[in-house]
Structure 1
Amino acid sequence: MEPNITEDKTYYHTLRRNMLITVVVVSFMPLIFVSGIILYHFQTSYTEKVAAHIESLVNQHRLQIDTFLKERQNDILFLTDSYTFRELSDEAFLRKTFDIIRKEHGQVFQDLGVVDHEGRQVAYVGPYRLEKASYAGADWFRSAIKEHAYISDVFSGLRGTPHFIVASRGEWNGNPYILRATVDFQYFNRVVQEIRMGETGSAFIVNRKAELQTETSLDISKDDELLRNLMEQALKTKGDVQINVLEGDKTRAEKLYATGLLNNGNWALIYRQRMNDAFAEIYRTWWIALAVFIAGAVAIVTMAVIVSRRMIGRIKAADGEKEMMNQQVIESNRLASLGEMAAGIAHEINNPVAIMVEEAGWISDLLDEAEFHESENLDEFRTSLGQIKKQGIRCRDITHKLLSFARRSESERQLIKINDMVEEVVGLFSHQAKYSNVRIVTKYAEDLPYVHASQTELQQVLFNLINNALDALRPTGGKIVIMTGCEENMAVIEVKDNGPGIPRANLMRIFDPFYTTKPVGKGTGLGLSICYGILNNMGGKITVASSMGIGTNFRVFIPHQDMLPEAAPDSPPAAETALTETHQSPIGSP
């Protein structure tokens, strides 16, 4: 009986179609499920992180601006509390007082004046001709005469330029008087404009009437009602920074607003940024995830088609099953061998590198022969050969490190001369220091003991410390002093700069992962954390001492040959942070 060829084709076609659908559905379900969960948690955590960062940024600058205003207010209050109306109304005395204030605080105050209870300015010091000005009808005067201390809104007034008044009220012979000062608007405006993040994030200040108190490049001409609502919301929350996301229309993009109160609730600091800028990383991640998903979908469908065809082919070719199974076993063995070969590639690279280093040494020996001594390029040949040998050794170290990582083994440790290692790393920074107007000074102690450690890891520690010092000195130039020594059974490397120093509040956190004081996009916050981990694993430690305006001093302690890490205590000492306000004494000669 002849087999029904048509039925066979229909059967195999149906079987292949069902197998294809099953493979695709089974493969897509976990892909969609896992991808959705990961993206959801990433978006949630990143959104919270961005919101927290913006809230922290606004709150920090809000406190900074409030502190600035209160300090200026206290300066004026001090004068009214310390001197009488008669003394302050003496223009010679007032000018002397004004000069002292400007000498102490810079050009923050533009002028200083004394106004009697009728609004007449009886004494004035400043660049404007306001000696006999009358403020009886001015809004700020009517408000200031009722309060002990007062800060006005920004207005043009008699001088015709934006400014605001800081005033305090005093009493003389039963009548009130006002000591008022004008704050430099441009200085105050610059403090606010420093609040920037991303491409569209910036800040401005408004009063309760939604009137601008600082300059801004943002278009807020249509946002009066919105700004008033943000101000009212901030007042209801008693000063906490509020984050709002407001949807835009077809012509205005969705924006994020952060609002914090200033000046006892009379002003509000408002930070605005487009959502697509604030959460650009999320959108970028979504596009990447979409691309990966599409690529995965194509791969799944392709593999499903291939697998279904192969399976049907195997069923149809029953007589060739054994041969195909044998072939599959062979292919599996080849794949396993390929995996082992991949693990050995790094090892095989060492062979040509070793030949390269050996040949470089042989050529170096040839250059010692008399026939090459008169060559004009002899020094260049030797330098190039030295570089070939050095880079060959470096390649060997890199491949060894790759093998160590693949086999999860310890980094190769060896006996290291501290001074030679330091000199090699310092040489990497010679050109960079020159163009940054930074001078690197090295002071090496003699007869230092060997240390038993990974040279590449120690080089990474020293590289990070010198690089950080260069970053601190790059704006102004300066000096980096690198010293070696021995202290308490430890070899010590000291990296000291005369840069601006690290604020006391930041010292406790500089070894935390991802903590950085650099602008967004300029730093990862991992350098010092990695240094801490490397030294901690060696049984060593790292300390820091810093003084604002004087500089920063890092000290690295490494067990030397007489105290190897294997002989160190079970719990190696943690990195210490020296919270000192005085400069630390160096090792060796001052």
Structure 2
Amino acid sequence: MHPDQKSNYDRLSWNIALTVITVSLMPLILVGGVIFHQFRSIYREKVYAHLAEVVDKHAANINTFLQDKLTEVQYISRTSTHDQLVDPVYLDRALRGMQQQYGRIFVDLGVVDAEGRQVSYAGPFSLAGADYSQADWFLGSKGRNASISDVFSGLRQSPHFIISVAQGEGESRLLLRATIDFLAFSYLVQDIRIGETGFAYIVNSRGVYQTRPKDERNQDLDLTPLRQLPRPTTIAGVSIYESSDRDGDTYVTVSAPIKGGDWELIYQQKVSDAFSAMTRTELVTLAIFLLGGFGIVSMAVIVSRKLVDRCRVIDQEAELMNKQMVETGRLAAIGELAAGIAHEINNPVAIMIEEAGWASDLMEDEGKDLPSAAEIHRALNQVASQGRRCKDITHKLLSFARQTDSRSSDISVPAFIREVVELSMQQARFAQVDFALDLDESMPEISASSTELQQVLLNLVNNAIQAMEPEGGKLSISCGMQEGQAVITVEDTGPGIPAANLARIFDPFFTTKPVGKGSGLGLSICFGIIHQMGGEIEVESAVGVGTRFIIRLPVPSPSMQHETRQEMRHD
């Protein structure tokens, strides 16, 4: 190319690039900025609304919990007389009834007189006659028909709180109190977990924790609002604001009053965690914008070189194709050479076995009296045994080399299963898997592609072995005739397949193996091969018991088998 032409072409390329960049990026930047701003606003409002709804719902659940327990205590008080309440046996029976209905939420019951002395008690502690006259919960219950105390340790030195209901007036006034299990109550609050840093707790009007905080660092949280945040107008009483701790971490704080305003349910989550999805989306969006801009610039710059690059790619693909063709031809030549060598070796090995047998017969007839007759017999048996071993190896090599033909042929199912088991034996030993074969030698041959049927059986056997790793187990394979069909069963003692996955087990790309361990195509291919052969494949499984695959294949009639053999001989 002439230097002047190259210079003009480069100048034109840059002019086109600048025009495309200006026209393309300016609207992209303006639209992207507007969308980005609207997305942030809408997403923040949705996060605040979601947190407010969650906290409000849990606050309602906690209020319902407290009201239900208060109602139960009130019911016991209303349906019991003065004499019944001071009877420990009656009180114990009432406690057992409450525990049967609600579980161990109610720890104990007690009846306290007007002076604060416990006159009757039912529960696991030795609190009969306990003096509660100076206890905060007792003082707080004076003048009230029903009350729920704050959480405290008390005489039992473990956190709990009291629900008390009054009966009578003056000196005859009795107070039925019930202790609520602190852990059961705490679980109502601990269930509020969103993200990695979200946690919730309850404080009373003096700021004292009523449930356990997430860790000691929670003691450093400052509930003083840094700024008020928008909340849904449909949720009354819920406050949303930002707060920070001593480390400078900023939290989204959502609070809602409970127990008539005596307590407050507080949920906190780091701002970075609450908006982590938005941050990731923003980063991905920014990356897409940058990649899009880079793509526009790159397109404008390299448009003049596209044809040359395309030609270079075509040349590289052609060169790679040539290398692959050479490699394929080399492998095919090696396969033919191996098959030829195996065939040539098979003939002398067969002669060697026959000669060893003939020599053994001669020894039986004429060499019994030789001093080394036993040693000669051992050597001849060894020659025959090793010869048969060589013949078996060459037979397998020939079978492997000939499996490029996908046409149907007559197959003896028991013999075919033994070949597959032999191929998988080493993997099974390593996985501590034992084979159990139950083969019907009298079943007729089937007409199928040996390559495809081997692929199906190997896939099922390998899946079963992998399922039983590393503990090991038993792999049972059987074959026989049922209702005029050839039936092959592959059953393992592995962990089994959940019922929810059984319906999808033959779907393409469905796999329960870890990423990188399976493509999800093996069983789908097996399903297609068996159905192409006119058969069916089924699966039965139970978790903790094992899995069974059942293959049903049609058996051709004798006349069809004869026609198939004639066609194969003709080919």
2:204 aligned with 1:207, yes or no?
yes
Which residue of structure 2 aligns with residue 74 of structure 1? 71
1:226 is paired with a residue whose SS is strand
- Work out the CA distance in 1 between the residues paired with 2:28 and 2:122: 74
2:104 is paired with a residue whose SS is coil
2:180 aligned with 1:177, yes or no?
no
Q: Residues 360 and 389 of structure 1 are in contact (CA less than 8 Å); yes or no, is this contact kept in structure 2?
A: no
1:167 is aligned, of 164, 171, 192, to 164
Q: Are residues 227 and 25 of structure 1, via their aligned partners in 2, closer, same or farther at CA, if it must alter by over 3 Å?
A: closer
Which residue of structure 2 aligns with residue 251 of structure 1? 247
Which residue of structure 1 aligns with residue 22 of structure 2? 25
Q: Are residues 13 and 199 of structure 1, via their aligned partners in 2, closer, same or farther at CA, if it must alter by over 3 Å?
A: same
1:278 is aligned, of 261, 274, 280, to 274
- Work out the CA distance in 2 between the residues paired with 1:266 and 1:229: 24
1:151-550 correspondence to structure 2 within 5 Å: 151-171=148-168, 175-218=172-215, 219-223=217-221, 225-226=223-224, 240-246=237-243, 248=244, 251-306=247-302, 362=406, 364-368=408-412, 373=415, 376-377=418-419, 385-386=452-453, 388=455, 433-434=496-497
2:25 is paired with a residue whose SS is helix
Q: Residues 239 and 265 of structure 1 are in contact (CA less than 8 Å); yes or no, is this contact kept in structure 2?
A: no
2:108 is aligned, of 87, 107, 111, to 111
Which residue of structure 1 aligns with residue 80 of structure 2? 83
Q: CA deviation at 1:63?
A: 2.1
Q: Residues 210 and 224 of structure 1 are in contact (CA less than 8 Å); yes or no, is this contact kept in structure 2?
A: no
2:53 is paired with a residue whose SS is helix
Which amino acid counterpart does residue 160 of structure 1 have in structure 2? Q
Q: Residues 80 and 179 of structure 1 are in contact (CA less than 8 Å); yes or no, is this contact kept in structure 2?
A: yes
Which amino acid counterpart does residue 291 of structure 1 have in structure 2? A
Which segment is superposed worse, 275-284 or 122-131? Answer: 122-131
Which residue of structure 2 aligns with residue 549 of structure 1? none
Q: CA deviation at 1:386?
A: 3.6
Q: Are residues 387 and 168 of structure 1, via their aligned partners in 2, closer, same or farther at CA, if it must alter by over 3 Å?
A: farther
2:60 aligned with 1:63, yes or no?
yes
- Work out the CA distance in 1 between the residues paired with 2:56 and 2:418: 67
Q: Residues 136 and 142 of structure 1 are in contact (CA less than 8 Å); yes or no, is this contact kept in structure 2?
A: yes
1:375-408 Cα shifts (integer Å, max 9, x gaps) = 722688989724757999xxxxxxxxxxxxxxxx
1:203-238 Cα shifts (integer Å, max 9, x gaps) = 1111111111000224232335539999xx99x999
Q: Are residues 364 and 148 of structure 1, via their aligned partners in 2, closer, same or farther at CA, if it must alter by over 3 Å?
A: farther
- Work out the CA distance in 2 between the residues paired with 1:227 and 1:99: 46
Q: CA deviation at 1:165?
A: 0.5
Q: CA deviation at 1:166?
A: 0.6
Q: CA deviation at 1:88?
A: 0.2
Q: Residues 108 and 183 of structure 1 are in contact (CA less than 8 Å); yes or no, is this contact kept in structure 2?
A: yes
1:309-354 Cα shifts (integer Å, max 9, x gaps) = 78xxxxxxxxxxxxx9xx99x99xx9xxxxxxxxxxxxxxxxxxxx
Which residue of structure 1 aligns with residue 518 of structure 2? none
State the TM-score, normalized to the length of structure 1.
0.52
Q: CA deviation at 1:291?
A: 2.0
Which residue of structure 1 aligns with residue 134 of structure 2? 137
- Work out the CA distance in 2 between the residues paired with 1:265 and 1:91: 35
Which residue of structure 2 aligns with residue 507 of structure 1? none
Which amino acid counterpart does residue 285 of structure 2 have in structure 1? A
Q: Residues 84 and 172 of structure 1 are in contact (CA less than 8 Å); yes or no, is this contact kept in structure 2?
A: no
- Work out the CA distance in 1 between the residues paired with 2:40 and 2:280: 11
- Work out the CA distance in 2 between the residues paired with 1:365 and 1:273: 69
Which residue of structure 1 aligns with residue 123 of structure 2? 126
1:160-181 Cα shifts (integer Å, max 9, x gaps) = 2211111111115774321101
1:377 is paired with a residue whose SS is helix
Q: How many residues align?
A: 367
Q: Are residues 64 and 34 of structure 1, via their aligned partners in 2, closer, same or farther at CA, if it must alter by over 3 Å?
A: same
Q: Residues 73 and 166 of structure 1 are in contact (CA less than 8 Å); yes or no, is this contact kept in structure 2?
A: yes
Which residue of structure 2 aligns with residue 148 of structure 1? 145
- Work out the CA distance in 1 between the residues paired with 2:246 and 2:12: 51
Q: Residues 85 and 172 of structure 1 are in contact (CA less than 8 Å); yes or no, is this contact kept in structure 2?
A: no
- Work out the CA distance in 2 between the residues paired with 1:128 and 1:368: 78
- Identical pairs, percent: 34
- Work out the CA distance in 1 between the residues paired with 2:189 and 2:299: 58
Q: CA deviation at 1:19?
A: 5.3
Q: CA deviation at 1:39?
A: 3.2
Q: Are residues 11 and 386 of structure 1, via their aligned partners in 2, closer, same or farther at CA, if it must alter by over 3 Å?
A: closer
Q: Residues 411 and 450 of structure 2 are in contact (CA less than 8 Å); yes or no, is this contact kept in structure 1?
A: no
- Work out the CA distance in 2 between the residues paired with 1:362 and 1:255: 67
- Work out the CA distance in 1 between the residues paired with 2:226 and 2:30: 44
- Work out the CA distance in 2 between the residues paired with 1:59 and 1:296: 43
Which segment is superposed worse, 220-229 or 86-95? Answer: 220-229
Q: CA deviation at 1:121?
A: 1.3
- Work out the CA distance in 2 between the residues paired with 1:290 and 1:391: 49
Q: Residues 121 and 132 of structure 1 are in contact (CA less than 8 Å); yes or no, is this contact kept in structure 2?
A: yes
- Work out the CA distance in 2 between the residues paired with 1:249 and 1:15: 60
- Work out the CA distance in 2 between the residues paired with 1:432 and 1:113: 52
Which segment is superposed worse, 360-369 or 179-188? Answer: 360-369
- Work out the CA distance in 1 between the residues paired with 2:202 and 2:56: 13
1:532-559 Cα shifts (integer Å, max 9, x gaps) = xxxxxxxxxxxxxxxxxxxxxxxxxxxx
1:443-491 Cα shifts (integer Å, max 9, x gaps) = xxxxxxxxxxxxx99987xx99xxxxxxxxxxxxxxxxxxxxxxxxxxx
Q: Are residues 111 and 40 of structure 1, via their aligned partners in 2, closer, same or farther at CA, if it must alter by over 3 Å?
A: same
Which segment is superposed worse, 27-36 or 86-95? Answer: 27-36
Which amino acid counterpart does residue 176 of structure 1 have in structure 2? R
Q: CA deviation at 1:299?
A: 2.5
2:203 is paired with a residue whose SS is strand
Gaps of at least 5 residues in structure 2 are: 315-402, 424-448, 460-489, 512-541, 543-571
Gaps of at least 5 residues in structure 1 are: 311-323, 335-358, 393-426, 443-455, 465-496, 498-590
Larger radius of gyration: 2
- Work out the CA distance in 1 between the residues paired with 2:107 and 2:54: 29
Q: Residues 360 and 385 of structure 1 are in contact (CA less than 8 Å); yes or no, is this contact kept in structure 2?
A: no
Which residue of structure 2 aligns with residue 47 of structure 1? 44
1:406-456 Cα shifts (integer Å, max 9, x gaps) = xxxxxxxxxxxxxxxxxxxxx99996755x6x799x9xxxxxxxxxxxxx9
Which amino acid counterpart does residue 70 of structure 1 have in structure 2? Q
- Work out the CA distance in 2 between the residues paired with 1:375 and 1:128: 70
Q: CA deviation at 1:44?
A: 3.6
Q: Residues 165 and 183 of structure 1 are in contact (CA less than 8 Å); yes or no, is this contact kept in structure 2?
A: yes
- Work out the CA distance in 1 between the residues paired with 2:454 and 2:187: 51
Q: Are residues 62 and 428 of structure 1, via their aligned partners in 2, closer, same or farther at CA, if it must alter by over 3 Å?
A: farther
Which residue of structure 1 aligns with residue 434 of structure 2? none
